[in-house]
Amino acid sequence: MSKVYRILTIGPIDSGKSELCNFIFRENKFTQNEPSCSCSKGPKIFQTKRNELNIEIIDFVEYVDDGTDEDNFKTILDILIDKNSLDLFLFVINSYNMRFHTDTKNYLKIILNTFTPSEFLNHLAIVFTDCNWLYDSEKNIDILTMQLHQFLEEIVDIKNNPNIILPKIYEIDTKKNENEKYNEKYQATIDVLLLNMEKNFEICGEISTKNIKLDGVKERLEKEEIKFKQTNNENREIKIKEIINKYNIYIRTFS
């Protein structure tokens, strides 16, 4: 059986996580029939095939101000333990925001108490949604990226850590645009994101989630040393370059 790439969305409330999942699936699966009452909130899980890859997305519930973060995260962990592995944290941020939700740091702390810095960062893609020319999204993205970098630096020393591949930053808009070119460009951006996920899997594997525990990193792994593998897939590198050039996609690295 071929590998299923498992993706978990994370990010502030209303950042566009579910719409992004729909966009990746090219189907309205994650927001369909969503009643406005909060009682039915919970992770949604679906599988699809895209670019020859089997992908499964676990669409997280938002993190909120009312102290339920840990409970929400515990629900997700139980799912992940059951699933055995995770390939990608999809951190979704709305570029319309000019700063982070106040709880972002606490939220990242919960994640980094559970996953090691390299498990998290080597399997992380940051996606800014709602990117358009109606407002200065580029400026917001600069600011938000800097803030996120700061948050993470405070929690882990990312600068000098040889076990870390710095995450890439993608910009998209999931709303159908009259200009078909934009829709194509953003779908192509997702293609690059998925190719990079596949590449990272070759380089450093997946996260084993069999033994994860809330607040359990130290117990699980005393020290981590990643042996990065070479990726020999030149075709993929060519494909990535082609897409980036064709659609004029700009991808930042988190540095």
Q: Which residues bind ligand GTP (CB under 6 A)?
A: 13-19, 31, 62, 129-130, 173-175
d(CA 175, CA 20): 9
Q: Given the complex with Mg ion, which of 18 and 97 has the nearer CB atom? A: 18
Which of Mg ion, ligand GTP, none does residue 119 bind to, with CB < 5 to 8 Å depending on kind? Answer: none
Q: Given the complex with ligand GTP, which of 75 and 231 has the nearer CB atom? A: 75
Q: Are 171 and 188 a contacting pair, CB within 8 Å? A: no
Give 33's contacts (C-beta < 8 A, 6+ positions apart).
none
Q: Given the complex with ligand GTP, which of 62 and 87 has the nearer CB atom? A: 62
In this chain, which stretch among 13-21, 84-92, 164-172, 218-226 interacts with Mg ion, using CB under 5 A?
A: 13-21
Q: Given the complex with Mg ion, which of 18 and 95 has the nearer CB atom? A: 18
Nearest distance, CB of residue 71 and ligand GTP, angstroms = 15
Q: Which of 18, 22, 114, 137 binds Mg ion (CB under 5 A)?
A: 18
Which of ligand GTP, Mg ion, none does residue 198 bind to, with CB < 5 to 8 Å depending on kind? Answer: none
Nearest distance, CB of residue 17 and ligand GTP, angstroms = 3
Q: Given the complex with ligand GTP, which of 49 and 135 has the nearer CB atom? A: 135
d(CA 9, CA 141): 19
Q: Does 137 bind Mg ion (CB under 5 A)?
A: no
Nearest distance, CB of residue 238 and Mg ion, angstroms = 35
Q: Given the complex with Mg ion, which of 40 and 230 has the nearer CB atom? A: 40
Q: Given the complex with ligand GTP, which of 115 and 128 has the nearer CB atom? A: 128
Nearest distance, CB of residue 16 and ligand GTP, angstroms = 3
Nearest distance, CB of residue 14 and Mg ion, angstroms = 8
Nearest distance, CB of residue 7 and ligand GTP, angstroms = 14
d(CA 184, CA 176): 10
Which of ligand GTP, Mg ion, none does residue 15 bind to, with CB < 5 to 8 Å depending on kind? Answer: ligand GTP
Q: Are 160 and 51 a contacting pair, CB within 8 Å? A: no
Residues at the site binding Mg ion, with contacts judged by CB under 5 A: 17-18
